[in-house]
Every structure is written in C-alpha cells, then in structure tokens.
C-alpha cells in the first residue's frame, strides 16, 4: 500500500475529501517526526510504538575494495509492533 492508497482509504472511511485526508496524513507524519527528533516516543495502543534507538559505532568493510571502514555512531528510528498488530499478521 502506498501513500495515495492510504489517503484514499482514510477519505473513504472518514467520509472526507481526499485533500483533507492528505492533510491529516501529513499532519500525523509530521507529529511523529517532530516527536522522534526531540527523542520522545510515540505509542499507539494496539498498533505499536515509534522510538529512537542509538546505534553504536562499529567497523565495517567496503564490499568493493575490502578495505575496513569506520561507521560512526548514530540514532535510528524504529517501530515495534503492538500486540493487536502482531496477532492480525499471524
């Protein structure tokens, strides 16, 4: 399912225009992004949790040259599925 299909689904389910559904989806994405930028987590009960995890620095290998390279530490966004979502996917 892509972005436009999600907008179409929201518009049909909420009986609103596609433009309003697009605005709502953009607002949701922006809210999650801003929360993660601040280091907060976003929990949607039954669906899942978005949060930021630190990733330690490590050594890697360039597959073309086989040369060792240093990969710096960084923060990565992660999503952990909730119980209802896990059960729905079984």
Q: Is the pLDDT of residue 58 over 90?
A: yes
Average pLDDT score, the chain: 96
pLDDT confidence bin for 10, thresholds 50/70/90: very high
Distances (CA, A) of 2 to 7, 23, 44: 9, 16, 21
- Average pLDDT rounded to a whole number, residues 82-89: 95
51 and 24 Cβ atoms separated by less than 8 Å: no
β-strand partners of 77: 52
Q: Do 33 and 53 have their domain in common?
A: no
Q: Do 18 and 50 have their domain in common?
A: no
Distance CA 2, CA 69 (A): 36
Q: Is the pLDDT of residue 90 over 90?
A: no
Q: Do 25 and 1 have their domain in common?
A: yes
pLDDT digits (tens, 9 = 90+) for 26-47: 999 999 999 999 999 999 999 9
Q: Do 15 and 56 have their domain in common?
A: no
Domains of the chain: total: 2
Q: Do 7 and 27 have their domain in common?
A: yes
β-strand partners of 14: none
Q: Do 86 and 68 have their domain in common?
A: yes
């Amino acid at each position: 399912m892509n972005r436009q299909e999600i907008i179409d689904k929201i518009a049909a389910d909420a009986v609103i225009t596609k433009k309003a559904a697009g605005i709502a989806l953009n607002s949701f994405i922006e809210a999650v992004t801003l929360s993660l930028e601040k280091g907060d987590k976003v929990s949607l009960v039954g669906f899942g949790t978005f949060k930021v995890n630190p990733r330690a620095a490590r050594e890697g290998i360039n597959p073309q040259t086989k040369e060792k390279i240093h990969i710096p530490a960084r923060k990565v966004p992660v999503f952990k599925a909730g119980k209802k979502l896990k059960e729905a996917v079984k």
